[in-house]
Amino acid sequence: MYERGGKPRKTRTSPVSSPTSTFFSLPMFSLSRMLRRSYLAKCLAAFLSILSLYALLHSIPFPSPPTPPGSFASTSSFLAADAATKIYLYDLPSKFTYGVIRSYLLARGGSDRSTSVASDADLRYPGHQHSAEWWLFSDLLRSDRNPDSPIAVVSDPSQADLFYVPFFSSLSLIVNPIRPTDESAMGSYSDEHMQEELVEWLERQDYWKRNKGRDHVIICQDPNALYKVIDQIRNAVLLVSDFGRLREDQASLVKDVVLPYSHRINPYKGEIGVEARPSLLFFMGNRYRKEGGKVRDTLFQILENEKDVVVKHGAQSRESRRMATQGMHSSKFCLHPAGDTPSACRLFDAIVSLCVPVVVSDYIELPFEDVIDYKKIAIFVETNVAVQPGFLTSMLRKVSTETVLKYQQEIKKVKHYFEYESPNGTVDEIWRQVSSKLPLIKLMINRDKRLVRRDANTTDCSCICSVQDESLIR
């Protein structure tokens, strides 16, 4: 029932819910109301007591029940992000490490007596662009490891997640100089023989045989390093500079790690700015290269007569490095064309010089791209566009001073990633990259334990080709 205006009309309800209440007389109404109030008071008191008990119980910390083995919770704990990856350093025969340094020095005029008598600690690794193998090896031998390091070195191989194979493969490749100073030293060292001996040694190791080498880490930074045995070690995590001379079934961005070259010039110590950089563009290097590096000769012809542009032909030498240091430190932009392979050390020389790289290399792969956005620190130009006369210099002259300063600011933020000598620099980042491969390694190891039908003509699913189909990109 509703009153006029839409408001509900108040109706009197029975004071008790019992069906017999209709037989109560009017004088009993007040009594029933009192009983109802008493009942509600008791209910309220009981409710408040329960609420107080609930609050008390939840304020006392109780231990969690143990997690059953193999549960999802235990897996999450095992894969905790802050857990350091445990690496075991193989105790290779010294001929694969310090012995390579001795052979290198001997082939360059060092006396046999002096190199054999010198202790390992006295040997100095020769400086060159592929020296990551020395930095990583030295880091694993350190006793004063940074507590924030992404890895922990273990002495018990049964505790290891990964196994590092410390062969100086890049130095071994160049032990015999192109123009030897001592003909008698030639022929006594064979890099191919060393590669074969390394594989023979590995194939005798139980931990290599256990997972077919998948949980092993091998550095072959020079594009030609370990070329003779690469098919026998391709299951391992390979540390490379690029994939220019590797097939898609040998290496990939998914399985392996791209390393920066060691910079060969002194880092720039000044602040950002263009006042001390009068040159527009600088390049110094070999003019004539093979494969994709043929673009260099074309660029030389286009640029060598341009105003404010310095392009010089020069091979690796102390004097060339001095001139390159001076040129990069006094230029706004530094040219990085492809060489025999897509990458080269001068890209990283430019970065530590705060000289904005101009990359003309269509198939280059770059290190640490999960943490570095290279579009913020470099300019990328397609080869067929860069070789158009006048294009490069016209484009670079239009880049404002403000934009150059922004590039330099971004370069300065990430410069430490390319300094092997920095305590929290390249080496730590390489280990972080290696550690990130661990879930895939475990996946492939477990997958190999079951029967998986594979077509011999197809690529293993752990590899993703780095040379992409343009139809998928554009």
pLDDT tens-digit readout, 115-125 = 666 788 889 99
Mean pLDDT of 210-223: 96
Q: Is the pTM of this model over 0.75?
A: yes
CA–CA distances in Å: residue 291 to residues 230, 295, 341, 357, 466? 21, 9, 8, 22, 17
CB 101 within 8 A of CB 166: no
CB 285 within 8 A of CB 397: no
Question: In this model, does residue 56 exceed pLDDT 50?
Answer: no
- Which pairing describes strands 237-240 and 151-153: parallel, antiparallel, or unpaired? unpaired
* Higher pLDDT among residues 31 and 345, named by residue: 345
CATH class for domain 279-419? alpha beta
Confidence grade of residue 108 (pLDDT, cut at 50, 70, 90) = confident
Question: In this model, does residue 47 exceed pLDDT 60?
Answer: no
Question: In this model, does residue 34 exceed pLDDT 50?
Answer: no
Which residues lie closer than 8 Å to 229 by C-beta, 6 or more apart? 195, 196, 198, 199
pLDDT, mean over the chain: 81
Tell me the sheet residues that pair with 337: 360
284: three-class secondary structure by DSSP: strand
Tell me the sheet residues that pair with 89: 164
Residue-level pLDDT at 435: 98
* Higher pLDDT among residues 178 and 206, named by residue: 206
Confidence grade of residue 443 (pLDDT, cut at 50, 70, 90) = very high
Report domain extents, the chain. 84-258, 279-419
The torsion region of residue 273 among left (phi > 0), alpha (psi -120 to 50) and beta comes to left
Amino acid (one-letter) located at 97 = T
